[in-house]
Amino acid sequence: MKAFIVDRYGKKESLRAGEVPEPALREDEVLVQVHASGVNVLDSKIRSGEFKLILPYRVPFVLGHDVAGVVTQVGPRVRQFKVGDEVYSRPDDFRIGTFAEFVAVKEDSLAIKPKNITMEEAASIPLVGLTAWQALVEKAKLKKGQKVFIQAGSGGVGTFAIQLAKHLGATVATTTSSANIELVKRLGADIVIDYKKDDFEQKLSDFDLVLHSQDAKTLAKSLRVLKPGGNLISISGPPDPVFAQEKGLSGFLKIVMTLLSFSARKQAKRLNVNYSFLFMRASGKQLSEITSLIDAGVVRPVIDKVYPFNATNDALAYVESGRARGKVVVKLK
């Protein structure tokens, strides 16, 4: 099958277009013919080697973390899906590979595709949708009337998280450029700060939650806009000891994570707020909850560009530019 392959780690390394065998199907997996695949910042970070400590993929491997497509084969232990089902997923770590014509996905990580959207729109959802769900619903337990600051509101996670937070009844603040102010307002943002003109720390205070996706300087400022007892959940790092424990990492890596997050945790403690790191995991069950929201019209996908499959490297470069409004997708079928 055709695929885009990481041969060497490196920020300037392009993915190689080549032929690889179809993935071997395990008993609890289904084979999905890929119709579309979402492109994420995570793909760039893995390709560049930034996550090698956490996710030590052995080269060569096929990249890609979002898929929408059709089931073509099921393993003997699979009960929920059948050949011909239209599905979508964020495959499990170490079973990624959606920049290809076929991908094997665990049954537990798969969900039926929402009925009222296209394959391209469905492929844009899993990683960012699950990230927002696990941050806002599972980890923060965001409640009606609370205030949440979602950074980079016009990005992939931001466009989904704003809609989900509004559905949960929260007051939503976000940052974006002037060109995207109307977009994030349409998605439900109540307070919009043009990061090129204004300092959000001067505008925001007493927030219950921050969904952090930016750099260390922004992290330090974000902790200061929380009210006592508030929570900052970071999806951009640094990873903390709890994350190392949950992932079952080695003692050495636990020490590394402790050191990396020491400054953030120390500042949070001094301010009487909480810091935690989230690295989203695959979940078909949660994706089914998201399907219900999409089918009900509560959340809608936001796509900037759709590239043909042979332009996957161009799609990845566009994501790396940081200019995308919502998600970038590659189309195979």
Please state the three-class secondary structure of 267-324 as a single string: HHHHCCCEEEECCCCCCHHHHHHHHHHHHCCCCCCCEEEEEEHHHHHHHHHHHHHCCC
The predicted pLDDT at position 36 comes to 98
Nearest Cα to Cα of residue 328 among 26, 79, 41: 41
**CATH 3.90.180.10 domain position(s) in the chain:** 2-125+301-331
Task: Give the pair of three-digit tokens for residue 192.
Answer: 């919009």
Amino acid at residue number 278: L
The predicted pLDDT at position 259 comes to 95
The predicted pLDDT at position 331 comes to 98
Nearest Cα to Cα of residue 180 among 4, 324, 298, 60: 324
**CATH 3.40.50.720 domain position(s) in the chain:** 128-277
The predicted pLDDT at position 255 comes to 94
For residue 231, what are the contacts with CB-CB under 8 A and spacing of at least 6? 139, 140, 208, 209, 210, 273, 274, 276
Task: Give the pair of three-digit tokens for residue 160.
Answer: 């989904």
Architecture of domain 2-125+301-331: Alpha-Beta Complex (3.90)
The predicted pLDDT at position 315 comes to 98
Which regions in the chain score pLDDT beneath 50?
A: none
The predicted pLDDT at position 42 comes to 97
The predicted pLDDT at position 184 comes to 98
CATH class, range 128-277: alpha beta
